[in-house]
Structures are given as C-alpha cells and as structure tokens.
Amino acid sequence: MRSVVIGGGLLGTAHALAAVRRGHEVVHLERESSARGAAVRDSGLVRVSGCSSADLGAALLARQLWEEIGGRVPGIGFRPTGSLTVIRTDAELAVAEAAAADADARSRGLELLEPEAVRALTPALRGKFIAGLHCSTDSVIEPRRALPALRASLTATGRYTFHSGAEARSVTDTGSGARVLDDHGRVIDADLVLHCPGATHSGLTRELAGVLPLHRVRAQMMQTAPLGEPLSTAVADGDSFRYHPGFAGPAVDALIAEQSQTTVAAQHTMQLLCVQRLHGGLTIGRTHESAEPFPFDVDEAPYDHLTQVTEELLGRKLPRVLRRWSYVRSHSADPSAPVTRIRASDRVWVVTGAGHLATTFGPLLGEDTADLLGL
C-alpha cells in the first residue's frame, strides 16, 4: 500500500514508522520546515510511573518499543534513566508509600527509597527531602533530535519520502483510493491518508472530521546551560502525584485536601519534571493551562517556582537559563482513550488528542492504528 501521512510531529512520525515497518510506502507531509509543536518542546520523558492501572500494560509495551527503536536508531537518544519523585512532606510520603505497596508496583518498577539511597542513586540531589519514589521503568528520549533521526532511518528504507514546508490543502476519497493536494500543487494518490494534526483543530482537520471531542492544553518549559555533573535519573516533585492517575487514591485525596501547594503552582496546575539532555542542560517544566484563548506571552512566576523547587532539590544554584518556551497540545475528552481516531471516510482517518501521553505511547499508537486498519 501507499499511505500519505499529514503532520510531521511525533504521532504522524509514529504512524509512518508503523506503516514502513510493515512494508508499505509512505509520503509524509509537514507544513513547517520541520515539526515545531509539542513533540519537540516536551521533556522527552517516557513515563510508566504515572499511568493508570488500565494503561500499564500498554505503557510497558510502548516503553519496550522505544527501547527497540533506540537500538536501531541511536539518534533518538533513548536512555533507560528511570525517575525519582522526590518527597518533601508527610502527605507526599503517604502517597509514595501507597504506590510502593500497590499490586502494580513491581510491574512499574517502583521502590520507596530513604534519603541516603536517593543520593546514592542520583548524587546530584543534595537538597533537603525525606524520601524518594524510584521508578526503574521510566525512560527518556531527546525530543529535538528524535524526529530527524527517525526520518533519516525511514528514508534509508527507500519506501519513505518526507516533504517539509508542504501543507495539505485538500484530501479527497476517490472511491478507489485517496488524493491529497498540497500547497506546492503536488497531487499525491494513495490507498490511505492519515491526518495527524496535533493541536490544530481548524482548517483541514475540521473539514475532514468536524468538531473533534478534544480540548487543548498549554504548557511552559525552560532549559538551562549544562549542569556540570550528571543528573542520573529524571526528577519530579511531589506535586506530580496530584495529576497522574497511577497515583490516584485516598492518599492523593488527602494530599489535595491539605492545600499545601504553593499559590503559583496551584494557579498554573504545576508539577516539576526535570530531565537532563545529552548536552548536559536541564529541561524543566511544567504548567498545565486549559482556559482558552491562551496568552501569547509566557508568565514569569511559574519559572520562578520551578527554579526555586529545582534548586532546593539539587542543593545548589541552577545554571543560567538559556531558553524559555510554551507549547499547546491536544487532549482527548475521554480520559480512558489515549488518542482520538476519527474515520473521515473509507480511506481517510484523523488521529490526534494524545496530549501528554504522546511521548510515552507514540510508537504503540502508530502500531495500534496499523492493526486497526489492517496494514
């Protein structure tokens, strides 16, 4: 078969990867010179620790797929770093204890560590804390490097063509196939079209699928200069317990009822996620804002909060912040569905809405769509 994939982000690339792996030909269109959305602006954390029990099997399979892809395509920067959620209050400790005692803890690779064991595992953490929840299955990729590396690998198969700066203007189901017209006047005939628009819900997306059952979320992130020492695991703070379904339960309810979160963190629905890049700098985030229209500028107060929390955990000043940015991602309205697939016609599908799960589940979502369509 010949497929056209519209959208060069992580979800579009994952679908191209699945199709090419199964022996099909793919023409891939991206309207920018390269992907510039959530896929390249997120932390790159492949997070098993916070997924729901219902999604745990899928998350572990997705993590395995990432590791296999990393073996074939080293340029994605896959590293089985694990993660540490650093505990600073008794209420957070109660959540960590419940998670470590849960029936899923062994499958997730969860272990509750004393402060000495935390520092032995991640010596860069020299600040004050009372415990750490280690997850050995969490991993990271390099978000700014992964997509170019995957495209290069796909191109080498001889069955993949990538057109950057090419916006799809129309998609037509011809009955015997599908036809895509781009803004360069190219007409591409195919057996199947997969439109992966990310957070762009208007334009061609609306033409094909109408109003989607999705909402959008905006996040703020930043990146520092090299730390000068290894941060051997990804690091989260206890606020992350509040937002990930894998930790849900009475202990989290009690944590929320305690109202101990800082005003800034509560206003911006914040959690600390800190990942060291291959160049040594730290990617630090993030906020979670869903009230549209989103502002065009970034708010400095969340960055002050993230800096303070990170410095308290590291027990040192952060290196200079080199970049700050925001991004918008698309979330499925159904919390039980990691992605939204809309069948626009027999040969045209719209796939989006993976939200913060896109990095974790990306390769598996591509494989699942391929299975669904019998590729």
pLDDT of 300-330, one tens digit each?
A: 999 999 999 999 999 999 999 999 999 999 9
- Whether the pLDDT of residue 335 is over 80: the answer is no
For residues 17 and 39, give the distance between their C-alpha atoms in angstroms, rounded to a whole number.
15
Report which DSSP code applies to 212.
Answer: -
In order, the DSSP letters of 161-196 are EEEET--EEEEEE-SSSEEEEETTS-EEEESEEEE-
Query: Which three-class secondary structure state does DSSP give residue 86?
Result: strand
Pairing of strands 25-30, 160-164: parallel
Residue 294: count of CB within 10 angstroms of its CB:
13
pLDDT of 27-73, one tens digit each?
A: 999 999 888 888 899 999 999 999 999 999 999 999 999 999 999 99
- Whether the pLDDT of residue 135 is over 80: the answer is yes
- Whether the pLDDT of residue 337 is over 90: the answer is no
CATH code that applies to domain 1-80+141-213+336-375? 3.50.50.60
User: Which ranges in the chain are annotated with CATH 3.50.50.60?
Assistant: 1-80+141-213+336-375
Left, alpha or beta for 165 (phi > 0: left; psi -120 to 50: alpha)?
left
User: Which ranges in the chain are annotated with CATH 3.30.9.10?
Assistant: 83-136+214-332
pLDDT (0 to 100) of residue 338: 79
CATH code that applies to domain 83-136+214-332? 3.30.9.10
Q: Which band of pLDDT confidence, cut at 50, 70 and 90, is reported for residue 334?
A: confident
Mean pLDDT across 218-238: 97
Question: Could you give the strand order of the β-sheet that contains 131-135, starting from the edge strand earlier in sequence?
Answer: 110-113, 131-135, 83-87, 234-237, 273-276, 282-285, 214-224, 321-332
Supply the pTM of this predicted model.
0.95
For residue 296, give every residue at least 6 positions away whose Cβ sits within 8 Å of its Cβ, in sequence order, or none.
none
Residue 156: count of CB within 10 angstroms of its CB:
10
Maximal CA-CA distance, the chain: 65
